[in-house]
Amino acid sequence: MSGVNKAIIVGRLGSDPEVKTISSGQTVCTLSVATSENWKDRDGQKQEKTEWHRIVVWGKMAEICGKHLSKGRQVYLEGRLQTRSWEDQQGQKKYTTEIVANTVQFLGSNDRSSQSQNTGSTTETQDFGPEPSFDSSEEIPF
């Protein structure tokens, strides 16, 4: 039996998307998405913890994300966890874990001023297949 590697995130963008085209011509978009958890501690004090998630989107959906998403926008993402490694300029090995998204849905309104007036949601989704493989000699695109 094979394993399951699936992540589902609903959160808000902490910054505007970063879109780049790598040397192979593929478009890649990186997103920083925050999810928050609220609870009351033993003393009844409200607590909050925020987790930040690095998201990578490829291809046509990367272009769409770059065009329509912005800081503060709520988004639903599905994908898989991936850990990559590379060497920095000093030759130190570095690692990063990210979610490679294969489904992206835009939630709420893109215009923050109309967000309270618009209770509906805008949804765009596309399953765009596997990500392209990286040439290990190629510069990391983000």
Give me the residue spans of the domains in the chain.
Answer: 7-37+47-114
- The pLDDT confidence band at residue 108, using thresholds 50, 70 and 90, is confident
Residue 67 token pair: 């065009």
More confident residue, 135 or 20: 20
- Full-model pTM: 0.72
Q: b/e for 38-68, b at 16 or more Cβ within 10 A?
A: eeeeeeeeeeeeeeebebbbbbebbbbbbee
How many other C-beta atoms lie within 10 A of the C-beta of residue 107? 14
Mean pLDDT of 17-27: 94
- The pLDDT confidence band at residue 30, using thresholds 50, 70 and 90, is very high
Residue 123 token pair: 């949804």
63 within 8 A of 19, measured Cβ to Cβ = yes
**pLDDT tens, residue by residue, 57-70:** 999 999 999 999 99
User: With 70 as the cut, is the pLDDT of residue 7 above it?
Assistant: yes
Give, in words, the CATH class of 7-37+47-114.
Answer: mainly beta
How many other C-beta atoms lie within 10 A of the C-beta of residue 79? 21
pLDDT of residue 75: 96
